[in-house]
Amino acid sequence: MDSNNNTLQNNEEVKLLNELQHSFELKLPDNFTDDIMKKISAKSALLSRVNPKIKTGLIILYFVLSICFSFLLVFLLKIIGLIDFDIVNWVSSTIESGYSSLNVSKNITTVNQFINSGFGATFNYLTSIFHNTFSSVLTLLSQTLTTVKIFTSQNSLFIMIILDIAILLFFYHLLITTNNKRISSR
Amino acid sequence: MSNKDDAEIIKLILDGDQDSYRILVDKYSNMIFMHIFKICANREDAQEITQDSFVKAYFSLKKFKGKSSFSTWLYRIAYNTTISTLRKKKRLTFTEDIDKYISYSSNKKWSSNTNNEINEKIIDETHYKQIELAMLSLKIEDRFVLTAFYQEHKSIAEIAEISGQNLSNVKTRLHRSRKRLTEVIKNNR
């Protein structure tokens, strides 16, 4: 009985598939190719006009906006009393920690010496500042989340990393979308 | 025209002869348009997606390495553009009257109009309409696999390349789509 049903089912399928092959045709408008070529020409002309400096500018703007947004967020959190944060202390401690982390710090006593100490030292300094900034931001945000008791201090660190990436991606998306709209509206 | 011809045309385009792209558009536009139309069932959408696909293909031509044929590569762009456009729209809009487009095919097949033939034609059209409507109730990916395999006679390997899936996935999807289509038609009867 089962095998009969299967055979029936298979026969139906074969019939159906034969019928599926019966196709139909629609024609495109006569000027279709011309329309595509016009679109390509317009976009090519536009792309050739876009200055590479604008792209670089957009990337810089994206980073600046991201940093501004992070600061704004921190100030808002301070205003509503979720965190206790002193921006001046934070900047000075960041610079200080970067400076003191230099391996060659024993031989450097002035800023000029520091600048003249070469690429390796500068790189160390920047890395240190970046590390300090990043960990400060994470600590602050972690502190915030712990304060509002949404997350524990352990998992809030992970959540903050995700949030930070999301904020950066949001700005990136915003800039790219705005730029694309600007280009396509021309 | 062979693939070698396509390669020569592509070389000309990459060397700066933009107008040569017209040859490729003329050659493949109807094929791509019909493929998209069968998936989205909307003439305006299909035209728009076809245009977008060709524009995207033009600006990605540098990335075409010739590992597959140009048409397969173009199909892949069209497939991705269709999927993303339809997902953005979230629903399909059927401005094309299904009766209207089924009759296109029937007009091609039937030349004389004896009474018997007219009756058969009506039965035939109703049946094809059922199949096309059943196809539209399937997922986009299922419709694509069925259309590509049964109507456009593409191989499993080609479908895999166009959709970016592996061979066994395509085989499984083809099998499941067939079953689903049969069930939908059965239920509609």
* pLDDT for A105: 47
Mean pLDDT of all residues in chain A?
63
Note whether B25 contacts A37, CB cutoff 8 Å.
yes
**pLDDT confidence tier of residue B22, bands split at 50, 70 and 90:** very high
- What are the tens digits of pLDDT across the range A7-27? 455 555 555 555 555 556 677
* pLDDT for B159: 92
The amino acid at A180: N
Return left, alpha or beta for A86; rule: phi > 0 is left, psi -120 to 50 is alpha, else beta.
beta
Among A137, A123, A125, A124, smallest CA distance to A90 is for: A137
- What are the tens digits of pLDDT across the range A41-95? 888 887 776 666 776 777 677 667 766 776 676 667 667 666 665 666 666 665 6
pLDDT at B53 over 50: yes
The nearest CA of chain B is from the CA of A12 a distance in Å of 8
- What are the tens digits of pLDDT across the range B125-177? 666 667 777 887 888 888 889 888 887 888 999 999 998 888 999 999 989 98
The nearest CA of chain B is from the CA of A61 a distance in Å of 27
Among A165, A149, A144, smallest CA distance to A66 is for: A165
The nearest CA of chain B is from the CA of A42 a distance in Å of 11
Among the ranges given (A48-52, A102-106, B23-27, B78-82), the one the predictor scored with the smallest mean pLDDT: A102-106
Coil/strand/helix, residue B75: helix
- What are the tens digits of pLDDT across the range B66-111? 888 899 999 999 999 998 888 877 655 444 444 444 444 444 444 4
And the tokens for A122? 């500068």
Q: What is the full DSSP assignment across B137-184?
A: TS-HHHHHHHIIIIIS---HHHHHHHHT--HHHHHHHHHHHHHHHHHH
Q: Using alpha carbons only, what angle is made at residue B183 by residues B38 and B140, rounded to the nearest 5 degrees? A: 30
Neighbours of B39 (CB within 10 A): 28
Cβ of A9 under 8 Å from any chain B Cβ? yes
Among A31, A46, A174, A55, smallest CA distance to B51 is for: A31
* pLDDT for A26: 73
Note whether A37 contacts B37, CB cutoff 8 Å.
no
